[in-house]
Structures are given as C-alpha cells and as structure tokens.
Amino acid sequence: MRRGSIESNSGFTLVEAVIAVGLCVTAAVGVAQLIGVATRAVRSARERTSTVIFAAAKMDELRSLAWTYEQSLSDTAAIPRSDFETDVSQPHHPQSGPGLSASPDGTLAANTLGYVDYLDDAGRWVGRDTRPPSDAVFVRRWAIWPLSADPERTLVLQVLVTTVRDDRARGAWTGPTGSDALLWSVRTRKGQ
C-alpha cells in the first residue's frame, strides 16, 4: 500500500496543469502589453527628438542669412545688408525666395509657400508645396517678422516642426503640443 500511495502522488493533476498554463498565458499577455507600451514610447521619443533637431537645423539656416551692417569705403555711415532673396525652403537655397523678408500672417498655422518644407523619416528634404507629399513624415514651418520696437535692426524668428500625422489630425496649428518643437530666436544687426 505504501508503494501505491507514492506512485499516485508523483505527477500533476489535470487541474494543476491547466492552472500553470493559465498563469503562463497571463504573464505572457502582460509582457506583450509592456513591449507594446515600450515600443510606442520609443517611437514618440524618437519623433520628439527628431522635431527638435529639424527645428534647430532650420533655425541655423535662417540665422546664417545676411542680417548685418557693412561699412562703406567712401562714407562713414554703415549700410544695412539683408538677405531678402534666398529660398531656404529648398535644399540648395536658390536666390528665388523670400530670405529674411517678413512672413505673411499665419505661416505657423498653415503651409505657406516659401515658409514650409517637408522631411521624410530620416530627415531628408522631400518637398515644399502647400500640401505634403506622400513620403513626408515631418512638416517644418517658419515665421519671420521685424520687432516692432526696432524693425530696422531686429528680427524675430520662429520655427515649428511637427509630424504630418499630428498636423492632419489637429487641423490648423494653434499652439504647441507635446509632439511639436517650436523654437524662437531674435536676430539683431551687428556692425554699426
């Protein structure tokens, strides 16, 4: 009898096996959900980082345009030198754009030719029209206006970058959200 009782207690019952499998499935579902949350968080962080980098790159392009004074050789008065011709909405910056001219109202809220361009997922330029091309992932807009207190010497620059997906979902841009990058800069003529 003793031997028979040892053999009958040596395995798992069907109920125990079902409970063990149920626990494993529950744990696997929980891990899968964590992986999904982590994947979305990584994608969101990557987009946020990209928007900041792309905004900083456009701000650098705008700040590199001429906005200074030059000393005249024949006269002691300094002459303002301003770039009102470069098109920074195109990759090779042809001399067919607005440069640092004051932008029309609403250039941050809507795509305005000369003040918008589009980038793919890797940050490569893909277009500049008022509608994003099919391969665009990011939309980059900028606004330029003279400072009212000193319009001849000082410009205010703004650059907004967001995803095309968020831009379409929201409609007209009214203010930054968590996925947008909005940079401001003030540019003052030097050399006088």
Q: Do 55 and 158 meet the contact criterion of CB atoms below 8 Å apart? A: no
Q: Do 159 and 139 meet the contact criterion of CB atoms below 8 Å apart? A: no
pLDDT at 179: 77
- Kindly report, residue by residue over 26-40, the tens digit of the pLDDT: 888 888 888 888 888
More confident residue, 54 or 1: 54
Cα 148 to Cα 7: distance, rounded to the nearest angstrom: 94
| Lookup result for tokens 């793919």 | 120
pTM: 0.77
Percent of the chain scoring above 70 in pLDDT: 89
DSSP 22-64: HHHHHHHHHHHHHHHHHHHHHHHHHHHHHHHHHHHHHHHHHHH
Split at pLDDT 50, 70, 90, the class of 117 is very high
